[in-house]
Structure 1
Amino acid sequence: MPDHSTKTAGMQQWDEDGLLEVYQRRRPCYHWCVRKGKKMPLAARILLDAVLALFLCVLVTGYLAVRPPVRKRMVLTPSLFGLTSEDVSFLTSDGKTLRGWFIPATRPKGTIICCHGYPASREQVLPRVRFLHADYHLLLFDFRAHGESDGRLVTFGLREVRDVEAALGWLAQDPRTKDTPIGIWGYSMGAAVAILAAANHPEIRAVVSDSAFASFPDMITRFYRFLGPAKYAASALARFLGRKLLHMDYLANSPETQVAHLSAALLVIHAREDEFVPFSHAERIFARAREPKKLFPVTGSHTAHGTADPSLYEDEVKRWFDTYLRRQGFADTMIPSGR
């Protein structure tokens, strides 16, 4: 008899991530069908093969998506831009050590948390937010399972909210930042995290959301569009596996639902030609948000928008933070929403 007690390294990793259990629960069904004495009808065999192929496709692509991106040594650092920075680290509520940079300002108007996208690290957003350094302390950090931070799984916004909460905790303890008004800037997945975190933390008074998705389940369906009509089944299966393995409800915790609870001023930036996250996601988020809010469309793609005239982008972002991070609060500085 073969010895099944020894697992390969790959199976061991699957077991650690909880994927092997899901696979093994479905494997007996396949063997039961194969061991049947009677020959299965052709249509039934085709259907079974299609279902198993779809399951395998979702399992493999989902596994690759939630695993950490390839870790690379930091190439872009604040010193390359003439900025003084400090290496910082802080612990999340579930025991993950996050690492980042604190870039202090000489005469700060406030502090801004900067959140990168997927799959990336804090160096992705450094060139995009460095213009804020003249007036604001900046805290850039790597989300869990990204860059130099701890973690084995990416949850596309849900557990990453704890990372922002840990950043807020660090700011609350540092004497340079504990009494400053706080804003948050995020790009792509980081923008979605910024909205989710700010919805539950009123100490965040201004949010700049750059290219956020409104609903992650919708992004899953869009990802599987190469499957044609089967994309809906693949998306449903992926959401089921997400609930099974991550114990997270993406429908209830999507930016477009949570933004309704946001008390911070919200600036929504999105490229009309965004090929990855459609512009309609920005419109959905904007529609559900409360005042003060503004929708700022830009030209370009998901990763290269606002580059034709960076000053327009920078002026809009800086104006937003300057307006709503005034120390007396923003109740008397509200500006009307615009598109």
Structure 2
Amino acid sequence: MKKVIVDKLIKIINSTKAGNANFYTTYGWEQLLNLYKDSLTSEYNLDPISFDNFENWKKVIVDNRIHAIYHLNKVKTNKWIIGCHGYSSSKESSALSSWFLENLGYNIMVFDFINHGESDEGLVTFGVHELDALTKVVNYLHSNFKVKEMGLIGFSMGAFTVNLFSLFDKKIIKKSKLKFVISDSSYMDIKLIFKKILNFTTDPIQKYVESLMDEVIKKYRKDFNIDVLKYDIVKLIEINKKTVPVLYIHSKKDLVTYYKDSEKLYELRKAISKKDKLLLFDNGPHVQTQLKHTKQYIEAVKDFLKNI
């Protein structure tokens, strides 16, 4: 019985393509991208962000598996941003969330993690496959465009992923020309994220599900040969001697990831990076502080970029 339940829980965790599959087939990513834009601009006061140049996104497929879109700045530049979306989201969402950096003079590339959006089916691993996908996109960018400098911005699962990339070997950092990272609503404890995703309405069921977290992780390791706990970000910080500045952003009212995680990462990294910044908002839902506090968000990013 326990095995059947664990199998079902893993199926729930990996049901990230179900919602958009038909939409992509029927309407395409361009329509979804524009629907997101129209929805956000009508619902929120995004006056500090100009969408005048939002057209002309182009599609590429990386490593025959990862679907990505990119946008060249209206002013020719060799500065690039790669955006990484959160769990159960897609490249279209991170395109909108990264767009303000186009206004700051960057070209933008965003992509779907495996088992998200239009990318191939597979397993969501909350860091392992996601870091591999990001690395492939970084390599694709450098192979196909002239890159003077590169920044990463990530949201939730994407934030955890860009944090991992920032702690790569210094040779990889240098080769990629990575200059900075923006980490919006990251996490540290993958078990807690599993619990948030597998959230049931009644306490007895929820407590039983939470008691199976170790079994879920064991099944990933045994049946799929994936250790979702492979990357201990605390240990990576402790052994790291070279990194790039990170701006941590979080809401104190975030009910999915915990602002204390961004706070702790910021404190831990003081030993290896003097230019990190921490921006905490008193309110705002998960990964929505840019929408709720647009002006303050952008001004904080501008200030961060001036000092790196």
TM-score scaled to structure 1, two decimals? Answer: 0.71
Provide the C-alpha distance between the structure 2 equivalents of 1:91 and 1:76, rounded to a whole number of angstroms. Answer: 19
Provide the C-alpha distance between the structure 1 equivalents of 2:197 and 2:143, rounded to a whole number of angstroms. Answer: 41
**1:127 aligned residue:** 96
SS in 1 for 2:126: coil
Structure 2 residue 255 is the aligned partner of structure 1 residue 275: yes
Distance 1:103 1:122, change over 3 A: farther
Conserved 8 A contact 2:13-2:198: no
Structure 2 residue 215 is the aligned partner of structure 1 residue 215: no
**1:195 aligned residue:** 163
Query: 1:79: Cα distance to partner?
Result: 9.0
Conserved 8 A contact 1:183-1:321: no
**1:56 aligned residue:** 4
**Which is further off, 255-264 or 75-84?**
75-84
Structure 1 counterpart of 2:157, one-letter code = M
More contact order relative to length (CA 8 Å, sep ≥ 6): 2
Provide the C-alpha distance between the structure 1 equivalents of 2:190 and 2:70, rounded to a whole number of angstroms. Answer: 28
* 1:17-96 correspondence to structure 2 within 5 Å: 52=1, 54-70=2-18, 71=21, 72-73=23-24, 74=29, 75-77=32-34, 81-82=51-52, 83-92=54-63, 96=65
Distance 1:85 1:256, change over 3 A: farther
**2:46 aligned residue:** none
**1:162 aligned residue:** 132
**2:228 aligned residue:** 250
Query: 1:157: Cα distance to partner?
Result: 1.9
Distance 1:224 1:141, change over 3 A: closer
SS in 2 for 1:169: helix
**1:150 aligned residue:** 120
Distance 1:125 1:213, change over 3 A: same
Structure 1 counterpart of 2:279, one-letter code = F
**1:141 aligned residue:** 111
**1:98 aligned residue:** 67
Provide the C-alpha distance between the structure 2 equivalents of 1:119 and 1:228, rounded to a whole number of angstroms. Answer: 21
Provide the C-alpha distance between the structure 2 equivalents of 1:321 and 1:139, rounded to a whole number of angstroms. Answer: 19
Query: 1:68: Cα distance to partner?
Result: 4.0
Conserved 8 A contact 1:84-1:103: no
Provide the C-alpha distance between the structure 1 equivalents of 2:100 and 2:197, rounded to a whole number of angstroms. Answer: 34
Query: 1:164: Cα distance to partner?
Result: 1.1
Which of 216, 219, 226 does residue 238 from structure 1 map onto?
A: 216
Structure 1 counterpart of 2:224, one-letter code = L
Conserved 8 A contact 1:112-1:183: yes
Provide the C-alpha distance between the structure 2 equivalents of 1:131 and 1:323, rounded to a whole number of angstroms. Answer: 18
Query: 1:111: Cα distance to partner?
Result: 1.0
SS in 1 for 2:307: helix
How many equivalent pairs are there?
A: 268
Structure 1 counterpart of 2:136, one-letter code = A
State the identity as a percent: 21
Distance 1:241 1:101, change over 3 A: same
**2:279 aligned residue:** 296
- Please tell me whether Structure 1 or Structure 2 has the larger radius of gyration of its CA atoms: 1
Structure 2 residue 179 is the aligned partner of structure 1 residue 205: yes
Conserved 8 A contact 1:115-1:125: yes
SS in 1 for 2:301: helix
**2:301 aligned residue:** 317
What per-residue deviation string (whole Å, max 9, x for no partner) do you get for residues 248-299 of structure 1?
A: 2233314444344360101111110111112222123223223131211012
What per-residue deviation string (whole Å, max 9, x for no partner) do you get for residues 174-211 of structure 1?
A: 34x33x11110000111111112232231322010000
Conserved 8 A contact 2:83-2:111: yes
Provide the C-alpha distance between the structure 1 equivalents of 2:186 and 2:160, rounded to a whole number of angstroms. Answer: 5
Conserved 8 A contact 1:66-1:155: no
Query: 1:125: Cα distance to partner?
Result: 2.2
Distance 1:306 1:139, change over 3 A: closer
Conserved 8 A contact 1:104-1:136: yes
TM-score scaled to structure 2, two decimals? Answer: 0.77
Structure 2 residue 116 is the aligned partner of structure 1 residue 185: no
Structure 2 residue 86 is the aligned partner of structure 1 residue 117: yes
Provide the C-alpha distance between the structure 1 equivalents of 2:131 and 2:82, rounded to a whole number of angstroms. Answer: 13
